[in-house]
Structure 1
Amino acid sequence: MTSIVYRGAGPSIAYARRVANLTQAELARAANVALGTVRKIERNERGISGDLLDAVAAALDIDPARLLPDTERPDDRLHRTMPGLSAVLAEYEAPEDGPCRTPEVLARAVRSVVAQRLSARYAHIARTAPALLAELCRGVHAAAPAERQTLARLLVDACRAADAVAYKCGARDLSARLIDLMRWAAGYAQDPLVDAAVAYVRTETFFAAERYTAGLRALERALDEVPRGTGPAVIAARGALHMRAAVIAGRARDTGASALHFGAARALGSQVDEGVYAGTAFGRDSVRIHEVSVAVSLGDGQVGRALELAREWTPPRDLPAERRSGFYIELARAQLWSGSPDAAFESLKTARRIAPQHVREHRWVREDAGTLRRLKRSDAASLSAFAEWCHARG
């Protein structure tokens, strides 16, 4: 993938370093870079590559987007990864020969991109996903049957991370093809819980096409395939599918099905600790976030419930950043609909602080920021800057 060099990040890096109470030498060691390089970057005597930006951001425990000036576009790295992903998808059934690391090493690499997805740090995924997917495809083809199951599960997880980039960037066709690769890999994994995770992600295609009733049917079929059991992984798999079904039923304006699935999700959520199961966060807090999603999906008559829940509860910080920011994006829409544009803007800013890459690429954020800018609020300058940052419509 073409290397991107960013200019003008030095002052932001220096500021973030001081906030983190690090010296330049300590930052250099943490980012595994020469001290002289850090000094030159902070003085804006040289640019910073995408890989180095990720390393510095990781050392500072901050999102890379927050280190770049407004004139830069951190989402360029996301969009430029699309050709690389397309190349992998064109040949996954007959990949070229090449090296393949051990399952243990690949598992560590996949855990890294999964963590980046849950943290909504898509730039890291964009940088590493094409090569990782290609390597896993080679491994699945070359492995013995027992090892193939393990590699296939890893391929599903890596595809899901890559799909997060494609879907958030609006590359819907590429997202659908990545989901097809997930389904292909799931056939080798031979694990009903992997199948359930793929069904959860596949719902994106129905959301994108606005085929909500068909998506609900697909989720209900997937629920029929999940084994019954009392283990946390099984409970979470069923609960996650019910959460997703409640939201898409709401989009279909099927209040009965939405209530039925949400009730099931709530009951299952009370039976497990909040956590990430097969790549999906599930538990009481995740169910509460989806209560806002369901209310917004159902529209006018239920918006008050979303606002009421937000007054009573806020997502805890230990939830994945992508899910927490999603809560505030949904809440902003409810606030806008209810005639509270200032509150909606505050919610959008909160979402950006949590997961800027997620927010910047979100279609609803762009729509709502454009609407807010047309309303010409008193903080028009701040709102205009936000709208330009996320490329808002209107």
Structure 2
Amino acid sequence: MPARAEDGVGRRIAYYRSAARPRMTQQQLADAACVSLGTIRKIERGERGATEATLEAIAEALGVDAAHLTADRAPFRTRVHEALPALSAALATYETPVDGPVRPLPELRAAVEQAVDWRLAAQYTRIARRMPELLAELARAYHAARGAERLELAALLVRAYRSADAVAFKVGAHDLSARLIELMRWAVPEADDPVLSASVAYVRTETFLAARAHAAGLRVLEQALDTVPAPVTPEHAAMKGALHMRAAVIAGRARDAVAAGAHLREAGAMANRVAEDVYCGTAFGPDSVKAHEVSVAISLGDEHVGRALAIAREWKPPKELPAERRSGFYIELARAQLWSSLADDAFESLKVARSIAPQHTRQHPWVREDVARLRRLKRADSEGLTNFAEWCAAT
């Protein structure tokens, strides 16, 4: 249902756009929200209303809660949450999908590539809207295919499930995330691709992280490392390095500094053999390993936190890294700063994270926890911090 033009939505959009730092032009807002410049101009002038989808896209681009743009500040239910039942329904029919159209393989391939790009850019709303239909279509295509085409469709299913899982895991739907991971494990043998199998082991770690079963997760990753092909190609080296990188993080969560350090060193050795890029859906390279050094230091805590701050003084994630990874770096850096009594710095880092990937930042549980603590400390600008807390639902 469109928002009424007289409700002042356009005036609020113009206010938040002008208040952004740096100030955002109408064209920049239109580009970030993926709507036309004419639409932004008409909404701001009050000449037309905005649908919920448009309003949410604009709010994400501005880095504010969509409720801040409405007149009554009523709770705003996101499209991501609304899409979860449809996503569950698509998974329930993976073996017997309902009848429907199936696009040619090149078009399906392009649709999955787009979903992967959205995942890396933390565009969870777009994934949630498109994924139920895409998964059903891929299942229809897979069950009707034979030979080499069936192998590729199995691989496409795995990659699509992974994009859907990014949404489920980030919004805390851990049962749905576990179901998606099981479907990845079901489909990947059909793809006959050892690198893709290793990527599923990488993602499977989410199940152990959610359950805080860190030691078990580390064993699974180390078993997967034994099955990865020798790193004779950049793709094989990157996948092996990514598994070591992930193992370092989960070893850090288990407070096993020795194992974490060993896996980081192995990841670094693999990173020195490849260029920073996205391999089989996972970003890997020297910069990704550097970002994970910060993550590991924070997971280990105590005397290791200083290492995270030292890295951040000398290095920042370049813009070439996927948005989700860059925002994650600043979220984790904020926690290290907060622990080190650098409350103002922590709030600045959280604002940077939001500017990079609003959806990722808003859904991250650490953000809500740390913003709530910052409010108790009252060390940052009260109005700005209150607005941020409302945006991410910190209590």
Q: Same fold (TM over 0.5)?
A: yes
Aligned to 1:379: 381
- Cα shift at 1:21: 7.1
Between the aligned partners of 1:231 and 1:78, the Cα distance in structure 2 is: 38
Structure 1 residues 47, 175: closer, same or farther in 2, change over 3 A? farther
Aligned to 1:63: 61
String of CA shifts for 1:291-340, please: whole Å, max 9, x gaps. 00000011112000000000011111111100000000010111111111
Aligned to 2:348: 346
Between the aligned partners of 1:55 and 1:384, the Cα distance in structure 2 is: 22
Conserved? CA contact 1:293–1:330, under 8 Å: yes
Equivalent residue of 2:283, what SS?
Answer: strand
Conserved? CA contact 2:271–2:285, under 8 Å: yes
Between the aligned partners of 2:232 and 2:56, the Cα distance in structure 1 is: 41
Equivalent residue of 2:68, what SS?
Answer: coil
Between the aligned partners of 1:127 and 1:152, the Cα distance in structure 2 is: 22
- Cα shift at 1:42: 3.2
Aligned to 1:48: 50
Conserved? CA contact 1:53–1:64, under 8 Å: no
Between the aligned partners of 2:56 and 2:338, the Cα distance in structure 1 is: 35
Between the aligned partners of 2:65 and 2:173, the Cα distance in structure 1 is: 26
Equivalent residue of 2:218, what SS?
Answer: helix
Conserved? CA contact 2:343–2:380, under 8 Å: no
Between the aligned partners of 1:14 and 1:384, the Cα distance in structure 2 is: 20
Of the three residues 284, 288, 293, the one matched with 2:295 is 293
1:309-320 correspondence to structure 2 within 5 Å: 309-320=311-322
- Cα shift at 1:66: 5.6
Conserved? CA contact 1:81–1:127, under 8 Å: yes
- Cα shift at 1:109: 0.9
Mean CA deviation greater in 40-49 or 325-334: 40-49
Aligned to 2:98: 96
Conserved? CA contact 1:77–1:126, under 8 Å: yes
Amino acid at match of 2:297: A
Unaligned runs of 5+ in 1: none
Conserved? CA contact 1:110–1:154, under 8 Å: yes
1:10 to 2:10 alignment? yes
Between the aligned partners of 1:22 and 1:242, the Cα distance in structure 2 is: 42
1:145 to 2:147 alignment? yes
Equivalent residue of 1:48, what SS?
Answer: coil
- Cα shift at 1:39: 5.3
Of the three residues 367, 370, 377, the one matched with 2:369 is 367
String of CA shifts for 1:10-63, please: whole Å, max 9, x gaps. 357668699557599x98xx8579x5x665433334433355568889xxxx83
- Cα shift at 1:95: 1.2
Structure 1 residues 9, 71: closer, same or farther in 2, change over 3 A? closer
Structure 1 residues 82, 271: closer, same or farther in 2, change over 3 A? same
Structure 1 residues 314, 90: closer, same or farther in 2, change over 3 A? same
Equivalent residue of 1:276, what SS?
Answer: strand
Equivalent residue of 1:316, what SS?
Answer: coil
Conserved? CA contact 2:347–2:380, under 8 Å: no
Amino acid at match of 1:182: M
Conserved? CA contact 1:370–1:392, under 8 Å: yes
Structure 1 residues 9, 355: closer, same or farther in 2, change over 3 A? farther
Conserved? CA contact 2:12–2:69, under 8 Å: no
Equivalent residue of 1:253, what SS?
Answer: coil
Conserved? CA contact 1:216–1:249, under 8 Å: yes
1:1-394 correspondence to structure 2 within 5 Å: 5=2, 10-11=10-11, 19=24, 22=27, 31=35, 40-49=42-51, 52=54, 63=61, 68=66, 70-71=68-69, 76-393=78-395
Give the fraction of aligned pairs with identical amino acids, expressed as a percent. 58
TM norm structure 2: 0.89
Unaligned runs of 5+ in 2: none
Amino acid at match of 2:10: G
Structure 1 residues 115, 171: closer, same or farther in 2, change over 3 A? same
- Cα shift at 1:160: 1.2
TM norm structure 1: 0.89
Between the aligned partners of 2:363 and 2:386, the Cα distance in structure 1 is: 17
Aligned length: 381
Conserved? CA contact 1:239–1:269, under 8 Å: yes
Equivalent residue of 1:81, what SS?
Answer: helix
Conserved? CA contact 2:26–2:40, under 8 Å: no
Amino acid at match of 2:124: Y
Conserved? CA contact 1:12–1:67, under 8 Å: no
Amino acid at match of 2:228: V
Between the aligned partners of 2:69 and 2:108, the Cα distance in structure 1 is: 36
CA RMSD between the two structures: 2.7
- Cα shift at 1:68: 4.5
Equivalent residue of 1:259, what SS?
Answer: helix
